Structure 1
Amino acid sequence: MKKNYLFGMALMASLAFFSCTNEVIYVHDGESSEQVSDEQIITLQVSNGGDGLTTRAGRPLYSSEAKQTIENVKVIVCNGSSVVYTKDFTKWNDSDSQEYTESGAHGRKTTIKLEGDDRLGKGQQYTVYAIGYHNSSDYKDKEGSNTLNALLSGIGVDDTFNENLTLKFTGSNNAEEIFAGSAELSISDKGAGSANVVLNRQVAGAFVYLKDIPYFDDAATLELVASSTNNQLVLGQFANTDFGSNGNNTVSLNVINGWNSEEGWTIGKAKETVIAKITLSEWFTSIENNSGLIDVANWKNKYADQSPKPTFQKGSVFAGTFLIPFAKVANNQTLKLVMKAGETSSYKVLASWNINLSVTGDNNYTNLYTWNGSTFGEPSTKEDLNKKSYSIVRNHLYGIGTRMEDDPGNGTDPDPDPTPDPTPDDEPEPLNNKQELTLRVNDNWEVIHGMELE
């Protein structure tokens, strides 16, 4: 029998790690589309939920590992733009859901059964929206005045909901994880209905994992620099069941759902911004020369005092960040790595590396939607990708080096290995003898394409 799927929202999470990680959320009820009962059911399913980290406003990005630390899920059902039903989950990882293991995946799920006055009208079409977010989120409304929690909790029945919900990020970082999805829900003439929902990560991610760091006198930092950044995130164009494991074999959507609220800002405007910084003194007790490289004998794990802590190969350095997607700037290098002396405005550039995108067929962005300040418009069939100039799109992870787990050295053990041996799934990128780096692109935190240094 054919399944119907209802988009409910569940705290987005990360779907079980298959070859890499698939971080999407499924909502389904397993009922036939030819139901004989008149039940109206929404099942929320969050895969691979929780990572053991202390609850905070946004988890840190330490690897490609599929995780989430979202506590809240807001479900909104609309008839057109009019809200007809809402439900808030505020303890998703506790009493609001239960663990499940099925089809090789695991996570938490719950079921909503619409009864009594909550039942939806017979023979009607509805859209179910869902948003998963952190307790103390640094996202606010478009003006930056109301918190995300206040904004979403204030949406009730008979209100109007804009499917392109625009949020402003007000935190000290670049972005934090937030998940959303939607799906159409049909209620039969008998009053029955069910559907499946997929919640995708609405931001992108980037990290650099490096070893064999060249020695320069007075070297202080390695900085990941972007050609542009955005400070607003649009929760739109997220109703995509874009992978075969989601129940459909439809083509994935590539979405640039970011915008900049600065006056006079235009798409593709250059404004170089440091998006992640490695302070070398936090990884080495002293910066000394050993055959042209920083001496690894002085290496330390920056996170050694953290509990639980991520572990890294001896001699390596790491920085990662979540990003609001942004459009490429024509004729500008999208990402580059810069080594600097000094950490003030009087810094000196000692060396730099262009970070290039492999432009093989797998990395062409098809069905690309770009927010223009008021709408996503019609998708382009293919972005004309250039290895130096490329867009940063939603739910993609852009990385230098291979790092599939936060803790390859098992740092949560009573006696962890502080410097794990190299493994195929944990390999920093050598920085010496290279002029350019090539990115690895992890599409939906799942399939890794090629990106690297040369």
Structure 2
Amino acid sequence: MKKNYLLGMALIASLSFYSCDKEVVYVQDGNGVESVADGAQIITLQVENGGDGLATRAGRPLFSAEAKQTIENVKLWICDGTGNVKYVKEISAWNTDSVSTVYTTGGHGRQTTIELKDADKLAAGTYQIYAVGYSNSSAYTLTDVTKVAKEGTFNENMVLPCSTAGEEIFAGQMELTVETGKGFKKPIVLNRQVAGAFAYVKDIPFMEGAKYLKLVASAQNQSLVLGNFNSVDLTGNGSGNTGNVKYVVNGTNGKSGSETYEISSIDLNKWFTAIKDEDGDNLIDAGENWKNPHRPSGSPAAGTYPTFQKGSAFGGEFVIPFAHVDGKQTLTLQLTNAGGKVLRSWKVNLGSTDEQLKQTITCWNSGSTDWSTSLSGESANTYSLVRNHLYGIGTRMNDEANPGKPGVDPDPDPKNPNDKPESLNNKQELVLKVNDNWEVIHGMELD
């Protein structure tokens, strides 16, 4: 107690001393009082956790609604009011502790601090700060990000073509006003720019020749637009984030044609040793017939791979957001044979009380290259997949089916509210749920 009293008196004394002749700003960041020297210019770069995949491509795989990030690079740049780039900072090995640290004030993620010194210090004026976090060997064409250089010019709303259905990428923007003779310490928050969709199911009907469970969509965009950001330190993973939720479709360059587009495909032969029904219940036999395809051979360390409820199957991917197509079912789960013939299908619907059904969706207008398009008419069957929202069949909040027992694939436990694969037995329709610090986690439904 005495030590705390002396520290408090020392802080008051220092504040009194400095207030006489120079500006010293003290920032309360939740971990104590931190001083910012007179005229110092400090940016705290914060990347929100969130999202979800094991994959052979760049970026992390989507296995659940767990909040996490595996990006390797962050690039930040500052532009003046006319778009001239005044400062550029590139950071590699982002997820290593020597480069960034975990933060929990407000939201949760990783952060680092950048101080502008000497020739890099900003003159008085208004600026825009941009930052993008991305993976090595990214599936995106990142030329518009990597070519940004000091003394160059920059126009916001970058369009990034992608060679896959989507990959996790983070971005954010902040306006900054610099006053003569004054310093600052400001955070810029980067959030996930893609949507996510997964199917976590059990009680899979047995049909002769069945091989795949495919989650297919009514549309697919092939490019991502970085702009119209929601640079907010989200306070909960998919909990609604009241007042800070946006409904934005930031995808463009849609595939042409009337066919559906595959988001993810579950190869049932990887989850079951044989596709059979020896007990005659019209379901694919589970029990000893089930296996976790993501468990490495040998004796893998617990917590280094995802676990699942025994008898279940999972497939999920990050998705470039797309707008709903009038008159077409947005998502459908299909059971197919090896050649793609549909043996059975389920409609995947948003719940009747889902908040998205009340929203007007903001969309990128590729014709006028702006955000002028507003989309209404969302319904349980025809809905958009929007940025930083997760759409899930079944409930799966963590990569581990039971985080308290890492490395264990548990027997089905219907009492676990955070890990509940959806039963496909006698269901005709699926209802979707969204989620990390996903802004919202949508739970989809099966009838």
Structure 1 residue 310 corresponds to structure 2 residue 306:
yes
Are 2:216 and 1:215 aligned? no
Mean alpha-carbon deviation: is it higher for 388-397 or for 351-360? 351-360
- Cα 1:88/1:411, change in 2 over 3 Å: same
Which residue number corresponds to residue 43 of structure 2? 42
Q: Which amino acid aligns with 1:62?
A: F
84-93 or 96-105, which moves further after superposition? Answer: 96-105
Q: Shift of the alpha carbon at 1:92?
A: 1.4
Unpaired runs of 5+ residues, structure 2, are 1-25
Q: 1:51, CA displacement in angstroms?
A: 10
Amino acid in structure 1 at the alignment position of 2:80: N
Could you say which residue in structure 2 is the equivalent of 1:339? 335
Match of 1:178 in 2: 169
- Of 83, 86, 95, 1:84 maps to 86
Match of 2:419 in 1: 426
Q: Percent identity?
A: 48
In structure 2, the CA distance between the partners of 1:444 and 1:384, relative to structure 1 (3 Å rule), is farther
The answer for the alignment partner of 2:226 in structure 1 is: 235
Q: Which residue of 2 aligns with 1:94?
A: 96
| Contact 1:309 1:411 (8 Å CA) reproduced | no
Among residues 381, 393, 407, which one is paired with 2:386 in the alignment?
393
- Quickly say closer, same or farther: Cα 1:225–1:49, change in 2 above 3 A: closer
User: Residue 261 and residue 379 in structure 1: after superposition, are their counterparts in 2 closer, same or farther (change >3 A)?
Assistant: closer
Find the aligned partners of 2:327 and 2:69 in 1 and give their Cα distance: 36
Residues 408 and 420 in structure 1, CA contact (< 8 A), matched pair in contact too: no
CA distance in 2, matches of 1:54, 1:437: 26
Equivalent position of 1:280 in the other structure: 268
What is the aligned partner in structure 1 of residue 400 from structure 2?
407
CA, structure 1 residues 97+55, in 2 after alignment: closer, same or farther (shift >3 Å)?
Answer: farther
Amino acid of the structure 1 residue aligned with 2:211: A
Q: Give 1:234 shift.
A: 0.4
Q: Is the 8 A contact 1:241 1:250 kept in 2?
A: no
Cα deviation digits, residues 402-426 of structure 1 (max 9, x gap): 001111245995xx32335422211
Residues 185 and 194, structure 1, Cα contact 8 Å, conserved in 2:
no
1:368 to 357, 361, 366: 361
Aligned residue in 1 for 2:444: 451
How many aligned residue pairs are there? 403
Structure 2: how far apart are the matches of 1:100 and 1:251? 22
Residue by residue, what CA displacement relative to the aligned partner does 1:172-218 show, whole Å, maximum 9, x if unpaired? x4111000000100101224233232211100000000001111111
Q: Which residue of 2 aligns with 1:58?
A: 59
* Distance change >3 Å, CA 450–CA 115, structure 1 → 2: same
Aligned to 1:328: 324
Contact kept, 8 Å, 1:357 with 1:438, in 2: the verdict is: yes
1:133 maps to 2:137: no
One-letter amino acid matched to 1:302 = P
Between the aligned partners of 1:243 and 1:65, the Cα distance in structure 2 is: 14
User: Whole-Å Cα distance in 2 between the matches of residues 270 and 52 of structure 1?
Assistant: 28
Q: Residues 106 and 352 (structure 1 numbering): CA distance in 2 closer, same or farther, change over 3 Å? A: closer
Please report the TM-score for the alignment, with normalisation by the length of structure 2. Answer: 0.82
- Coordinate RMSD, CA, aligned: 3.2
Q: Tell me which residue corresponds to 2:123.
A: 121
Q: CA deviation at 1:36?
A: 8.6
Cα–Cα, structure 1 residues 324 and 448, in superposed 2: closer, same or farther, change >3 Å? closer
Within 1, Cα distance between the matches of 2:49 and 2:411?
24
Normalised to the residue count of structure 1, the TM-score between the two structures is 0.80
Shift of 1:332: 0.1
SS of structure 2 residue aligned to 1:117: helix
Alpha-carbon deviations, 1:255-300, whole Å to 9, x = none? Answer: 10101166xx5xxx74411111111111111111131111113111
CA distance in 2, matches of 1:91, 1:190: 35
The answer to whether the 8 Å contact 2:195/2:321 transfers is yes
